Structure 1
Amino acid sequence: MPHQHHVAGYENFLQKMKEFQGNQEVYVYYGGSKDANGLSWCDDCVKAWPNIKSAVEKYLNPNAHFVYVEVGDRPTWKDMNCPFRLDKNTRLLQLPTLAKWLGPERLEGEQCEKFELLELLFGDE
C-alpha cells in the first residue's frame, strides 16, 4: 500500500510538498473540499474517487506517495486567482485532476473516472 497523505488548502499543500525530495514517486489528487458528510461539493470528484481509490490500492507502487488535496470550497475554486490555478507546479484547469508531481503525466476531469487510464498512469514505467 502506498504512503497516503491528506491536506486541505494551498498553504498546507505547499508545506506537505516540501517533505518530498529527490526521486520519490509522488502523485497528487486535487479535488473540491468535503462537507460534514465527507462528500466533495464537486460532483465529478465524487464520481471519480471510487476508481481512483481502487487504482491507488491496486496499481500504485507501495513505495510511492499519494497526496489527496482539497483545493477549497466552490467559490475558492471558481476564483480565477485561486492559487492552485496560478501555481506553475499545479496549473489546475479543472477538478478533479490527478498528476504525477513535477511531471507531465496527468488526468483531468472525466479522465479520472476511467480505470484503464488510471492503470496507465500508476503502472510500471
Structure 2
Amino acid sequence: MSWCPDCVKAEPVVRGEMSHLPEGSVFVYCQVGERPYWKDPNNEFKKTLKLSGVPTLIRYGTPQKLVEEECFKADLVRMMFTED
C-alpha cells in the first residue's frame, strides 16, 4: 500500500474508470518512490515530468492532467480517458 493517502483514495476511482479507455490504450502506473524521495525537490518526477503533487494522472503527449483530489472524481477521470 502506498504511503500517500490521496493515492490510496484515488486508485479505486481510476481503476474503476479504466473500462472507458479507448481500445488499444496503454495505461502506465508509476510510483514516485518513498516519501523522502518524493519530498526532494530535485527528484526526477518533479524535474522531468514537472509533477507538483500525487496522485497525478497525465494524458501523455497532451497538456491534460488531473492532480491530487481531482483524481477522486470519477467524472473527471472518465473525461481524461475518453476525450480526444
- In the superposition, the TM-score normalised over structure 1's length comes to 0.65
What residue in structure 2 maps to residue 6 of structure 1?
A: none
Matches within 5 A, 1:25-64: 39-56=1-18, 58-64=19-25
Answer 1 or 2: which has greater strand percent. Answer: 1
Structure 2 letter corresponding to 1:121: M
What residue in structure 2 maps to residue 74 of structure 1?
A: 35
Superposed structure 1 runs of 4+ greater than 3 Å apart = none
Structure 2 letter corresponding to 1:99: I
SS at match of 2:42: coil
Which runs of 5 or more residues in structure 2 are unaligned? none
What residue in structure 2 maps to residue 119 of structure 1?
A: 78
How many residues are aligned here?
A: 84
Which runs of 5 or more residues in structure 1 are unaligned? 1-38
CA displacement, residues 42-82 of structure 1 (integer Å, 9 cap, x when unaligned): 000000000100111x2101201000001100000000111
CA displacement, residues 24-53 of structure 1 (integer Å, 9 cap, x when unaligned): xxxxxxxxxxxxxxx100000000000100
SS at match of 1:98: strand
What residue in structure 2 maps to residue 103 of structure 1?
A: 62
Alpha-carbon offset, residue 109 of structure 1: 0.2
RMSD over aligned Cα, in angstroms?
Answer: 0.8
